[in-house]
């Protein structure tokens, strides 16, 4: 049996069990959450979170059913891998993201502010996004895909395949699920770089250069590792960053070196730092949240081609990312 089907034999029954447990006693869970909120006075945070979990499980099943119906339609009207097949899965992905984003923002009373929205037009392009929490997966569609006729090819962690809807739809919309623990690092980097091949006029490529979400503990771990390695230059660079992790240059440079002529759009954002755990949601960290996004675009002509210069350019852009995040937070890096 393939690893894909071994995984699905776990994830689909698990999702079914969670769905039955949540929806089968939905009034009870909502009532308990409401009682908890009224007792602790937490802006109905637990109630909102419970409702969001109910919505998410329902959305997952709607995505699964839509994907299975698409496969049935594909069997009747053969077009595997073709534009019709791709288009159907893009519609599923777009509407899934649209529903979760709209409901999530309204449910938590959150709002989105975007500076530089013009940078999100004029595809093809590459998008390098700061990684602050699990909700980043929804941020890119909200900023780039829902307001514009744009479709992104994603490079995301392989663990997302444990969500059955991602598992069925993601590979069909040209997403690459990276195994961060793979012994074949060169092979993983090559898969990321190949995403740029054959980009269509309305497509882009999305990458999280940090490889994992930012946290103070992860930043400290990176500093400790660099101190042990004796790489003083890398250590000083990492120390200079206060809001982001140093970019992992392997996949990033592989993608840039394979770039045939597309601009790069950088996406700084704040607010979603609070959306990395259920406990934070239960505390009310997302209630009334303001998600601030700032985009800037670098034309292809300004991107170096020589490897050493390209690495220095990427580090400089990520230093700017750090400054932009600090500015969006309303304080300078030195205030950390």
Q: What would the pLDDT profile of 216-235 be if each residue is shown by its tens digit?
A: 899 999 999 999 998 899 99
Strands (E), 82-211: 111-115, 125-129, 151-157, 176-178, 203-207
Task: Give the rounded percent of residues in the chain with a pLDDT score beyond 70.
Answer: 96
Q: Given pLDDT bands bounded at 50, 70 and 90, which one contains residue 40? A: confident
SS3 state of residue 149: coil
Strands 263-270 and 290-298: antiparallel
Rounded to an integer, what distance in angstroms lies between the CA atom of residue 155 and that of residue 251?
A: 10
SS3 state of residue 134: coil
CA–chain centroid gap for 298, Å, is 21
Rounded to an integer, what distance in angstroms lies between the CA atom of residue 77 and that of residue 73?
A: 6
Q: What is the 3-state secondary structure (H, E, C) of 212-263?
A: CCCCHHHHHHHHHHHHHHCCHHHHHHHHHCCCCCCCCHHHHHHHHHHCCCCE
Query: Does the N-terminal peptide bond of residue 124 adopt cis geometry, omega within 30 degrees of 0?
Result: yes
CB 311 within 8 Å of CB 248: no
What is the number of residues in the chain? 336
Tokens 């995403």 — which residue? 195
Query: What pLDDT does 260 receive?
Result: 95
Rounded to an integer, what distance in angstroms lies between the CA atom of residue 323 and that of residue 22?
A: 42
pLDDT at 144 over 80: yes
CA–chain centroid gap for 91, Å, is 18
Query: What pLDDT does 336 receive?
Result: 35
Task: Pick the more confident residue, 326 or 280.
Answer: 326
Rounded to an integer, what distance in angstroms lies between the CA atom of residue 18 and that of residue 103?
A: 20
Rounded to an integer, what distance in angstroms lies between the CA atom of residue 15 and that of residue 237?
A: 43
Q: What would the pLDDT profile of 297-336 be if each residue is shown by its tens digit?
A: 999 999 999 999 999 999 999 999 999 999 999 844 433 3
Helix axes 45-76, 83-107, angle to 10 degrees: 170
Residue 286 phi/psi, 5-degree rounding, is -95, -10
- The Cβ-side half-sphere exposure at 55, using a 13 Å CA radius, reads 19
Over residues 13-23, the mean pLDDT reads 97
Based on C-alpha coordinates, what's the Rg of the chain?
21
Total Cβ atoms within 10 A of residue 52: 18
CA–chain centroid gap for 34, Å, is 30
pLDDT at 78 over 70: no
Residue of 267, 269, 253 lying closest to 326 (CA atoms): 269
Rounded to an integer, what distance in angstroms lies between the CA atom of residue 68 and that of residue 148?
A: 27
Fold annotation for 3-335:
Glycerol-3-phosphate (1)-acyltransferase (3.40.1130)
Cα separations (Å) of 250 from 65, 185, 186, 258?
37, 9, 8, 12
Total-model pTM: 0.91
Query: What pLDDT does 334 receive?
Result: 38
CB 170 within 8 Å of CB 177: yes
SS3 state of residue 152: strand
């Amino acid at each position: 049996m393939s690893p894909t089907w071994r995984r699905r034999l776990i994830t689909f029954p698990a999702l079914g069990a969670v769905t039955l447990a949540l929806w089968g006693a939905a009034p009870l869970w909502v009532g308990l959450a409401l009682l908890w909120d009224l007792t602790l006075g937490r802006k109905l945070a637990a109630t909102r979170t419970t409702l969001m979990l109910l919505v998410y499980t329902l959305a997952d099943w709607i995505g699964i059913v839509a994907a299975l119906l698409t496969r049935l339609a594909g069997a009747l009207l053969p077009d595997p891998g073709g534009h019709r097949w791709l288009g159907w899965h893009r519609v599923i992905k777009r509407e899934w993201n649209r529903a979760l984003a709209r409901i999530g923002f309204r449910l938590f009373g959150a709002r989105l502010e975007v500076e530089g929205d013009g940078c999100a037009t004029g595809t093809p392009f590459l998008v390098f996004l700061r990684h602050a929490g699990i909700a980043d997966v929804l941020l890119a569609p909200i900023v780039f895909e829902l307001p514009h006729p744009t479709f992104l090819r994603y490079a995301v962690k392989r663990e997302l395949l444990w969500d059955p809807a991602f598992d069925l739809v993601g590979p069909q919309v040209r997403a690459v699920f990276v195994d961060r623990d793979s012994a074949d690092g060169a092979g993983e980097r090559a898969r990321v770089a190949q995403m740029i091949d054959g980009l269509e006029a309305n497509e882009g490529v999305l990458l999280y250069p940090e490889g994992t979400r930012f946290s103070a503990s992860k930043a400290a771990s990176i500093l400790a590792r660099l101190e042990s390695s004796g790489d003083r230059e890398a250590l000083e660079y990492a120390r200079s960053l206060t809001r982001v992790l140093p970019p992992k240059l392997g996949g990033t440079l592989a993608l840039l070196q394979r770039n045939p002529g597309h601009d790069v759009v950088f996406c700084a954002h704040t607010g979603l730092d609070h959306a990395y755990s259920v406990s934070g949601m239960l505390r009310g960290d997302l209630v009334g949240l303001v998600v601030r996004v700032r985009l800037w675009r670098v034309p292809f002509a300004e991107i170096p081609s020589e490897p050493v210069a390209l690495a220095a350019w990427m580090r400089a852009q990520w230093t700017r990312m750090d400054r932009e995040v600090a500015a969006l937070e309303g304080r300078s890096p030195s205030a950390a």
